[in-house]
């Protein structure tokens, strides 16, 4: 669920490389000023700490019930219902390790919101929802902003439901949020087509929206053997994986540890010596969250003197493996430790019978060019009177590669009004 992610001062991708600065303290102050100046627009969200249920009658015979849950505990309590929905809609992997994505540090403090949708005319007697939207509200300094965004640029863990109904559910859930005071909603969902916005916004006039479709690298399909998988990669990537692994073995006398047990203080020392050190709070969270994953792993690469060269943390679910983060020792650019470690990691996971390889948040590594492509739809909806203010704020304080700034300032977007 990776959409507006990063740390206090630098945005990190999974390779450990910085992309661009995130909000500075002055940026947070500006956001708070913006939030305070518009707080009277729609009032505070009703029932912000308790479930909200609303029935919506349509020209029949359909009747939709919406349940709005706010906060980590409320969302996690709904996990059985989410698991049942994910199983029924062919999205079982989307709700694995839910707590990890709810707690993931980001651009600023966030609160998760879950909107569950039930078709009471067809599901009488059943508690299983037919749709679910997971979205996060920004809370700078702990203050509700009523600015919402999905926390996953891939869209994999944002929306649950039957494929042909997902976008319709997303729009209905967004409509509910706006009727409860939302100022802006930004969604990224996996979809092969643009949503029909016809009729949307009638109950919340004064809202503008734009829709964008894009293709993005999704995952690498793995062969039964390491060599078979390399054959699926580009010639240069294939050569680099072999070359830098041999170089690390011969020059650094490296040793691969697939089941790493490292003390927190040792990892903290290595973090300080890594190419892009993480803030301590992020490192502590990454270590703590490992115990909450269903099937986590930690792998390491040491040189002949016992120094850490690279550490990878990830998770397994179904027949898939996913790298969550990677640290690499600084000063070894000519050895491309990140590439050598990826070689060891891939070979190990393939030997386990893994069929799909993901990198949470995406990767800048050249192997991404061999990933399978997935369609994503970005939808941004914002109050008319706030569009220019949010656009200026994003341009000044939010990294340009962040999806929020990207969507607000994309000159190719066609904006429509309710």
Q: Where are the beta strands (DSSP E) in 38-158?
A: 52-57, 63-70, 110-119, 131-138, 147-149
Pairwise CA distance, residues 329 & 346, whole Å: 20
Q: Mention every residue, 6+ apart, whose C-beta is less than 8 A from residue 24.
A: 9, 397
Q: Mention every residue, 6+ apart, whose C-beta is less than 8 A from residue 144.
A: 44, 45, 48, 111, 137
Residues paired with 265 in a beta bridge: none
Q: Where are the beta strands (DSSP E) in 339-371?
A: 356-359
Q: What is the DSSP letter of 68?
A: E
The SS3 call for residue 371 is coil
Q: Are 137 and 93 within 8 A, CB to CB? A: no
Burial of 39 (C-beta count, 10 Å sphere; 0-12/13-18/19+): middle
Pairwise CA distance, residues 404 & 394, whole Å: 7
What DSSP assignment string belongs to 294-322? SSEEEEEEE-TTS-EEEEEEEEEETTEEE
Query: 180: which 2 tokens?
Result: 């409860």
The predicted structure's pLDDT at residue 15: 47
Q: How far, rounded to the nearest angstrom, does the alpha carbon of residue 116 sit from its chain's CA centroid? A: 20
Query: 39: which 2 tokens?
Result: 């707080």
The predicted structure's pLDDT at residue 26: 52
Pairwise CA distance, residues 214 & 201, whole Å: 24
The predicted structure's pLDDT at residue 112: 92
Reading the chain (418 residues) residue by residue, the pLDDT tens digits are: 333 232 222 233 344 443 333 444 455 555 555 444 444 433 343 334 434 444 344 444 457 788 999 999 999 999 999 988 988 888 888 888 888 888 877 666 889 999 999 887 765 555 678 899 999 998 877 788 899 988 777 888 888 888 888 888 888 899 899 999 999 999 988 876 666 666 666 667 888 888 888 888 899 999 999 999 999 999 999 999 999 999 999 999 999 999 998 888 999 999 999 999 988 888 988 888 888 899 999 999 999 999 999 999 999 998 999 999 999 999 998 999 999 999 999 999 999 999 999 998 888 889 899 999 888 888 999 998 888 888 887 777 777 777 888 888 888 888 888 7
180-205 CB burial, b ≥16 within 10 A, e <16: bbbbbbbbbbbbeeebebeebbeebe
Q: Are 301 and 337 within 8 A, CB to CB? A: yes
The predicted structure's pLDDT at residue 53: 41
The SS3 call for residue 189 is strand
Q: Mention every residue, 6+ apart, whose C-beta is less than 8 A from residue 13.
A: 19, 361, 362, 363, 364
Residues paired with 53 in a beta bridge: 67
The predicted structure's pLDDT at residue 230: 96
In 3D space, the residue among 132, 147, 109 whose CA is nearest the CA of residue 404 turns out to be 147
The predicted structure's pLDDT at residue 51: 40
| 0.85 exceeded by pTM | no
């Amino acid at each position: 669920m990776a959409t507006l992610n990063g740390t206090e001062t630098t945005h990190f991708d999974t390779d450990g490389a910085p992309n661009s600065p995130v909000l500075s303290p002055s940026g947070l102050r500006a956001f708070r000023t913006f939030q305070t100046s518009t707080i009277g627009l729609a009032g505070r969200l009703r029932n912000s700490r308790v479930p909200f249920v609303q029935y919506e009658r349509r020209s029949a015979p359909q009747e939709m019930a919406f349940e709005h849950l706010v906060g980590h505990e409320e969302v996690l309590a709904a996990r059985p219902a989410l698991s049942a929905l994910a199983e029924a809609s062919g999205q079982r992997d989307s709700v694995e390790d839910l707590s990890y994505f709810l707690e993931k540090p980001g651009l600023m403090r966030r609160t998760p919101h879950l909107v569950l949708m039930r078709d009471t005319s067809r599901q009488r007697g059943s508690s299983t929802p037919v749709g679910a939207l997971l979205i996060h509200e920004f809370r700078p300094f702990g203050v509700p902003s009523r600015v919402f965004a999905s926390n996953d640029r891939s869209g994999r863990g944002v929306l649950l439901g039957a494929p042909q109904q997902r976008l319709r559910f997303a729009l209905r859930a967004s409509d509910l949020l706006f009727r409860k005071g939302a100022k802006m909603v930004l969604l990224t969902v996996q979809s092969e087509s643009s949503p029909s916005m016809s009729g949307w916004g009638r109950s919340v006039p004064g809202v503008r929206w734009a829709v964008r479709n894009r293709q993005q690298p999704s995952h690498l399909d793995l062969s039964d053997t390491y060599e078979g998988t390399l054959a699926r990669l580009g010639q240069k990537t294939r050569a680099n994986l072999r070359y830098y692994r041999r170089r690390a073995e011969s020059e650094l006398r490296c040793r691969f540890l697939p089941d790493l047990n490292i003390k927190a203080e040792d990892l903290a020392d290595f973090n300080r010596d890594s190419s892009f050190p993480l803030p301590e709070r992020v490192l502590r969270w990454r270590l703590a969250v490992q115990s909450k994953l269903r099937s986590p792993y930690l792998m390491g690469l040491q040189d002949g003197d016992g120094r850490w060269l690279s550490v990878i943390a990830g998770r397994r679910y179904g027949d898939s493996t996913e790298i969550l983060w990677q640290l690499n020792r600084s000063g070894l650019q000519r050895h491309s430790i990140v590439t050598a470690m990826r070689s060891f990691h891939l070979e190990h996971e393939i030997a386990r019978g893994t069929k799909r390889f993901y990198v949470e948040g995406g990767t800048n590594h050249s192997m991404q060019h061999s990933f399978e492509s997935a369609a994503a739809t970005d939808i941004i909806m914002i109050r008319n009177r706030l569009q220019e203010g949010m656009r200026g704020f994003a341009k000044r304080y939010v990294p340009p590669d962040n999806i929020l700034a990207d969507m607000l300032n994309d000159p190719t977007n066609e904006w429509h009004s309710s």
